[in-house]
Amino acid sequence: MNVEFAERIKRLPPYLFAEIEKQIKDKKAAGVDLISLSIGDPDLPPPQVVIDVLREEATNLKNHNYSFSQGEPDFRAAVTEWYKKRFGVDVAADQVVALLGSKEGIANIARAFVNAGDKVLCPDPAYPVYANGSTILCDGTPVAMPLLEKNGFKPDFETLETEGVKMMYLNYPNNPTAATIDKAFLKEAVDFAHDNNIILCYDNAYSEITYDGYCAPSILEIDGAMDCAIEFNSLSKTFNVTGDRIGFAVGNKQLIAGLAKVKSQIDSGPPVYTQKVAVKALSTYQSVESPEFLQKTNQILRERRDLLVDTLQGIGFPCEKPKATFYVWVNCKGDSMKFASKLLDVGVAVTPGIGFGKCGEGYARMTFTQPKERIAEACERIRGLFK
């Protein structure tokens, strides 16, 4: 049988990480002690309360039936309470959808609202799901929204094309640039979306991984946001449970209803026991302040960040100390693939910026999701290479 891929699959861009992944595989096969600064997956464990509740809820036989497709009532209530405590935002339970991780919702929202040929504004560089898993797989057309260093890696709304644009994605704290924003920028974004009748999809997956007193806002704190925005968040990075696949979308009722409708035809929500764990995890917040577990995690990450950034700056590679996320976006002063290959020669894997979009060229993303000793070792190798 000759099996043809659908046209939309053929339209997906070539996988730019393939070559570097092959080189990583070859190094590992050759027995190289590889330090991976390329994976955005926390190395630290989930808090003990998550493990304890997971054990308890997984052994409750009632928790193995189908969930409500939009999410269990207690899960949705916990999310509404979290929004109130963390952001001071009032949302009703019907403004919440449980997700199998935020990636799933970020992709599925387009199925509800993007028609063939509709344009979708996608940041460049960016998490590839906005342009690919979402827009292209719904036959939409991604339109790159450049995130340039001179603009603090924020889009310049005044220069953006709006004709035929149905939806836009924004993500702060940002992957891969680690840029953060303030509420004044979010107000600009909401006004832009509102004035141009554009659905605003706000990806806030890193809202809790913050340093130096920075507190990431929710788009839903902004006047007018409930009219045009949906926000995606997740327990993945906050509680170090990336593999458990639990997240949520919150926002405008119609946008939530559309996403819930799509999901009711595709999946039946995250496992009930996972949602119960999420209820407990979210309830560790008493206020806008991070719970103790998270303060400790962020302290560990901050020390690693300082080590990595101080080293890179010391060698002469320009990069900022990020106020959020576990990424460093380093100006590698040239071809990002070549830079990544060169580091691989000393057993350090990083992600070339070009893999996140054209505007990512000239940069590389380094993650600090490795123990401090491994980061120190990686720093030694990098220093040796460029001294």
Q: By the criterion CB under 6 A, which residues form the site for ligand PLP?
A: 40, 101-103, 127, 171, 175, 203, 205, 234, 236, 242, 247
Residue (40 or 155) nearer to ligand PLP, CB: 40
Rank residues 39 and 288 by Cβ distance to ligand PLP and give the closer one. 39
How far apart (Å, rounded) are the C-alpha atoms in residues 146 and 160?
9
Q: How far is the CB of 60 from ligand PLP (least distance, A)?
A: 25
Alpha-carbon distance of 285 to 290, in angstroms, equals 6
Interatomic CA distance for residues 365 and 85, integer angstroms = 33
Minimum CB separation of residue 178 from ligand PLP in Å reads 11
Q: Which is it for the CA torsion 248, 251, 257, 262, positive or negative? A: negative
Name which of 179 and 382 has its Cβ closer to ligand PLP.
Answer: 179
Nearer to ligand PLP among residue 205 and residue 308 (C-beta):
205
We find the least distance from the C-beta atom of residue 116 to ligand PLP, in angstroms, to be 25
Contact 243, 112 (CB under 8 A): no
**185 in the Ramachandran plot: left (φ > 0), alpha (ψ -120 to 50) or beta?**
alpha
- The minimum distance between CB 164 and ligand PLP, in angstroms, equals 25
CB of 171 to ligand PLP, least distance (A): 5
For residue 371, give the amino acid letter.
P
* Min CB(40)–ligand PLP separation in Å: 5
Identity of the residue, 87 or 127, whose beta carbon is nearer to ligand PLP in the bound complex: 127
Pair type for strands 351-352 and 363-367: antiparallel
Looking at the Cβ atoms of 368 and 379, the one nearer to ligand PLP is: 368
Q: 261 with 112: CB under 8 angstroms?
A: yes
Residue 359: left if φ>0, alpha if ψ -120 to 50, beta else—which one? alpha
Q: Are 239 and 47 in contact (CB under 8 A)?
A: yes
CB of 109 or CB of 379, closer to ligand PLP: 109
Q: How far is the CB of 30 from ligand PLP (least distance, A)?
A: 29
* Shortest distance (Å) from residue 381 CB to ligand PLP: 25
Helix 48-58 and helix 272-282, axial crossing angle in degrees, nearest 10: 150
Q: Of the two residues 127 and 339, which places its CB atom closer to ligand PLP in the complex?
A: 127
Sequential DSSP letters for 116-174: TT-EEEEEES--TTIIIIIIGGGT-EEEEEE-BGGGTTB--GGG---TTEEEEEEESS-
Q: Is the bond leading into 142 cis (omega within 30 degrees of zero)?
A: no
